Copies of this chain bind each other. A is one copy, B any other.
């Protein structure tokens, strides 16, 4: 596969960690929220895959930007944007909350952090949620303040992250529950830390608000992390697909609704909360959806097949289109390519066979359930 270089400019913002990461050997980037997000290092995908599942990695995920919404009407605005019922949400907790428009189309799928009733962070996927929030707030004349705070997340992911974090932050951090967050001290600076992250290998996200203190912590990780075999990493295309962690823009977008993406449990239609697209979603639920995201396996050992830059159609043996592949990657665990595809209703059968053509070569595959592992 031919490689193309990225043309850097201020518009593709670097992060506070970029200069360190470039010295440490980052080799490729993706762009996420107008910012550099590391996507590969010198090591092979397979090597970093096993490392993530066995040890601990530090990820520069500053590109997971925050939209801060504060003020009297902030809870009302945040609720208006998501189909998840946040009326019983608690301070110090994270909530995975799909954001939809008035037609039920998905705009983003952030983690919502509730600091308190009048201060919220939306830790966003790759779209300018801040502009949607601003538009709504202006139109509804809400009393809110909306901005992007200086927050640059550093993630600590992998099974050894628990022991590493305890070594640095002490016993207190072991009391932090999954999707809980709190402030923890390192050398006199309090960092907001949540037990979360974009892998299923366990770990934390550190919402660095003080750049120098964050860089000090970053360096400390690599200093004390040696005994845990710490390495630099990044969100892993194989691990995330195996784990069924969906990616906005890759697996789904504004043309898809929450029911088509398996987000039923985050759609609360029965309470009296007010959110955009509620009536539309009730109608969709009553009628049922005609397509949904499912897993696929493809018989191929082409380890670089995952580099899709468009959807690719899937066909049955009679050349009927049965769906489209949106993400795919070679899985060392399964010894074949696995992927996430939008499949039409009449083909929702596990083990449904299909063919797919990539670069003029035809491959055979099967549909399966998500997650893979």
Which residues on A are within 8 Å of B, measured CB to CB? 2-14, 18, 22, 26-31, 34, 36, 39-40, 101-102, 107, 126-129, 131-141, 237, 247-250, 276, 306-311, 326-327
Contacts and interface: CB of A to CB of B under 8 A. Distances in A.
Highest count of chain B CB atoms <10 Å: which of A3, A9, A140: A9
Contact of A6 (B6, B129, B132, B237): B6
B9 A26 contact: no
Nearest to A309: B14
Work out how many copies of this chain go into the complex: 2
Contacts of A36: 309
A6 B18 contact: no
Contacts of A135: 131-139
Contacts of A137: 135, 139
A39 B7 contact: yes
Contacts of A11: 30, 126, 247-250
B8 A309 contact: yes
Contacts of A326: 10
Given A11-B248, A139-B141, 9 more contacts: A3-B5, A4-B28, A5-B29, A7-B28, A9-B306, A11-B250, A36-B309, A131-B132, A136-B139
A10 B128 contact: no
A27 to B, nearest CB: 6
A276 B27 contact: no
A138 B102 CA distance: 7
15 contacts: A4-B5, A4-B6, A4-B26, A7-B40, A7-B307, A9-B247, A9-B306, A10-B326, A10-B327, A13-B309, A102-B138, A128-B131, A135-B135, A136-B136, A139-B141
Going nearest first, the 9 A-B pairs with the smallest beta carbon separation are: A139-B139, A135-B135, A11-B249, A7-B39, A128-B128, A14-B309, A131-B132, A31-B31, A135-B136
Contacts of A129: 131
A134 to B, nearest CB: 6
Highest count of chain B CB atoms <10 Å: which of A6, A14, A101, A136: A6
Given A127-B128, A139-B140, A307-B8, A2 B31 contact: no
B309 A138 contact: no
Contacts of A4: 5-6, 8, 22, 26-29
Contact of A7 (B12, B13, B30, B140): B30
A128 B3 CA distance: 28
A308 B29 contact: no
Nearest to A135: B135
B101 A134 contact: yes
Contact of A311 (B2, B10, B40, B276): B10
Nearest to A102: B138
B8 A27 contact: no
A9 B327 contact: yes
A353 to B, nearest CB: 23
B6 A28 contact: yes
Contacts of A134: 101-102, 132, 135
A235 to B, nearest CB: 10
A307 B127 CA distance: 24
A138 B139 contact: yes
B250 A310 contact: no
Contacts of A307: 7-9
A12 to B, nearest CB: 6
